Structure 1
Amino acid sequence: MDIAIVGAGLGGLALARVLHVNGIDAVVYEREAWRGARGQGGMLDIHSGQRALRAAGLIDEFYAIARGEGQDMRLLTPDGTLLLQEDTPDDAPLLRPEVDRADLRNLLLDSLPEDVVRWGHAFAFADKGLLHFADSSSAAYDLLVGADGASSRVRALLTDARPVHIGKNVVEIGIPDIDRTHPDLAAMVGRGTYWVLGDGISLAAQRNGDGRVRIGVSFYNTAEDWFATSGIPFDDPAAARARLIELLPGWDPRITALIESCDDTIMPRSSTSLPIGLTWPSTPGATLLGDAAHLMPAVGQGANMALLDGAVLGLALAAHPHDFPAAVKEYEREMFERTGAAARKSADMHELLSSPDAAQKMLAFFQPG
């Protein structure tokens, strides 16, 4: 029977890999023209998702690309007060190592036979066991798995739920080759994450494996149209950086120097999520995983849940190779419970970060009692 996976993100590739190691064929249809067609984002904190990589037979390869030092963290208030500094010993276990999303995706891609991923196939709709693509081609399927992210087209086959804005807007910027170009800022950021919280705003600067520091400036309790009203001229990078700093009145100049030193890559991103605890009646022939199934606030759970989704579904299909409906029901039962709990935790963390005293609450989170 034909298993069609729409989307070559982490969850879809984890599913394809677990099926492959269990002797089950699947095809992944991806709209991008090739693996490097689009940037894959920054670092991921992989914790529970390591179980999926074990099931995929890739845990040793994962440890080879993971960055244990990425677990380092510095937590500050906008006036530059250092509240917490955690430095990871070199021999510490890799419980929550950071990894470049692109590196992890490449690891999964390289673990699959070359013909598993079909690039340049943009899913349009499904009808009577046929996938239809934007180029008018089609392909048969017995099981369709929507792994096509937050804006999933497959989702509509199972539920009317749609992502909604959560009152958070993020401006993504970065400093390339920071150790060479800005060694003083490199020392300030450290080896992992440099996190400033306060005033309903957060600035998170994070080391990437390629020497770039990616920075996200998040504005909480803001409307969906906030970018249009913020006065940030995204078509003029220098003016955009200046406006960003204006939006951080009273912040320590050492912190805003991170913004001044960024290159011209400036990306606005609105944050959305699906309803917490979203479920749907089990439907023969189709299911969802990853952000398509349970998009939640970005606080370190999404990628782990997607990897686990792929592994759990793959193992269920391997256990019921001739009964896809039973496998899907088994997977969805586990997935709904696991990701519902993760979504609730993520929503609680989002609420904490949006509070006026977020820095002190976060300090208490990391140092309870």
Structure 2
Amino acid sequence: MKAVVGWEAFRDALHLITQLVPGRANLGEPSAVQITTTGDAVVLSSQDYDCAVRIELTEDIDPKETGSITLPGQLLTSFVRDLRGKTLELRTKPNSDACSLSCGGDTLELVAAPEQNFDPLPEIDPKGTFEVPTEIFAKLIDRCSFAVAKDDRRGLHGLRMEVESDRIRIVATDSRRLAIAESPLDHAPKHLAPTTLPTRTVSQLVSAIRGQKPTLRISPMTSQICFSTPGLTVFTRVIQAKFPEKYAAIVPSETSNSVRFRADDMAQKLRLVANVSQQELRSVELRLSSNSATLVSVSPGQGTATAEVPVTFQGVVDRLKYNPDYLIEGLKRADTDEIELVYEQANTPAKFLLGEGFIYVVMPINV
């Protein structure tokens, strides 16, 4: 095998692969990357139990001799990352178990990883495939990923994806809060079952292709889902644990009280008063009047903090209490300067309208 490839493109491809397929060295499963040269491409592949990645580099390459070798992923990625140069030469010798990587005056002779039998990638059903602008899909993921559960004991550690005839929706919850973001979608397939996506894999994928690939092709299957763009294919297992089907039931439909405020103002004051809130029981009380909200945080043995925020309040229930971290995390992702908070009672869920097609529901702390 012998090929010359653009260093920067090769570096970025390795970085994405080792993020999506990091390996599990503590279980004797270090990451490995298979490099294959064909007549017109340099192909990088890796997979583990949960994810399979294939990247084809077709620009700024010169494949001189076809061949294939599997190399240790983390060491390869670290070395290539610290190189500097325009091109990188890959070379193996007949009957050799090593690959030479040269860039500028720097060279690494890297011993091959143990041979791995990478499974062939599944066939994709074009009838269930749809396309979405990458920027829109990335925005939906960003809006909701913060609200997933931090552990996987209840199946809430994933992002639920729902596709209807004219829209795509992402949902996340940890049982104390719920984020729902949706966007119009052209030419969506009919009768597509909801899918729960692995948060880490999808977040890293959209972060890598955002601003570079205009369109993302999505192909849901029974136990896997495929994301692809020209030159990139990612298969990942979906989360099989059952996502709450009736999550929409907690979204307030009747709301007699409304509070409007600027997102930045409220977030800054929440951070301020939350400094005295105990980690074990984080809480901030909102005391509302027609044109202001007094934020109060009390921590026995530490002190009391208060702050004023301009608001427009309409209603009768004027005492609310929430976990300040939940509010701050939601406000950070708002797409509009002015936020509306609506609710029925102090002990019922509150709905924050954070932008077009973006709602955030937070359970209160009973006053």
State TM-score, norm by structure 1.
0.24
Higher helix share: 1
Which protein has the larger Cα radius of gyration, Structure 1 or Structure 2? 2
Q: Give the TM-score taking structure 2 as reference length.
A: 0.24
- Structure with a larger share of its residues in strand: 2
Structure having greater relative contact order (Cα 8 Å, sep ≥ 6): 1
